[in-house]
Amino acid sequence: MTMNILITGTRKGIGNSLARYYLALGHNVIGCSRQHAEIEHEQYVHFCIDVSDEQQVISLVRQVKKSHGHIDVLINNAGIASMNHLLTTPATTVTKMMQTNFMGTFLFTREVAKLMMKKRSGSIVNFSTVAVPLDLAGEAVYVATKSAVESLTKVSAKELAPLGIRVNAIGPTPIPTDLIKTLPKDKVETLLEKQALPRLGTIEDIENVVDFLISERSSFITGQIIYLGGVF
């Protein structure tokens, strides 16, 4: 069955890879980011927006409703990170990360859920990080924003369940993308040592979990956070 899948943050990294993956499987993909994504496909539509701008998000969902009718899956992938010690983190950085990581997830969840509830079905997948359960030093603000996403995931899962909408989250270990290129090598190695499976993740690892969470066979699974790499 062909699905309409909305993925935020598709210009590069995980979001871009997921968009290409689901397009290759024959699904319709709606993507968005601040800039254009270099994805050329007849079943792909891209919007250039700020995910933390309420009116832009509302407008996007309205346009998708007109063009596609409904949304089956929402993948809240858009996110930014800044690895600073608490004492050297500017307030502007805190605001920017909270707006993108949490507000963006909240706005898309709220607006897409309004569309999903009309069919009384839908799956929402949010993105957290293994940095949350590991309480990684040097990532206080980033971890705080993703902790907020996890709380949103669990509570919204309860609120949206009566409407037929499931909400789950995935917490990846570091994936070789631009997001971790700026991280010191020793910091990455320290993180990997804390995993039961001490290796970097791959996009295939992400695809596998997302496939599982959005599958009709997972219709009894909601409000869950799945961490990769064996993090407890």
> Which residue is associated with the tokens 């010690």?
85
**CA 190 from centre of chain:** 24
The contacts of residue 91 (CB under 8 Å, 6+ apart) are none
Q: 3-state DSSP call for residue 8? A: strand
Q: Is 142 a catalytic residue?
A: yes
> Which residue is associated with the tokens 């010191």?
184
Question: What contacts 24+ positions apart, CB below 8 Å, involve 109-112?
Answer: 109/74, 109/76, 109/152, 109/156, 109/167, 111/57, 111/58, 111/61, 112/6, 112/61, 112/71, 112/74
Q: What are phi and psi of 123, to 5 degrees?
A: -130, 130
- Which residue in 21, 22, 44, 142 is the catalytic one? 142
Nearest to residue 73, comparing CAs of 7, 128, 158, 14? 7
Distinct helix (H) and strand (E) counts, the chain: 9, 7
Beta pairing class for 28-33 and 4-8: parallel
Give the residue numbers marked as catalytic.
Answer: 142
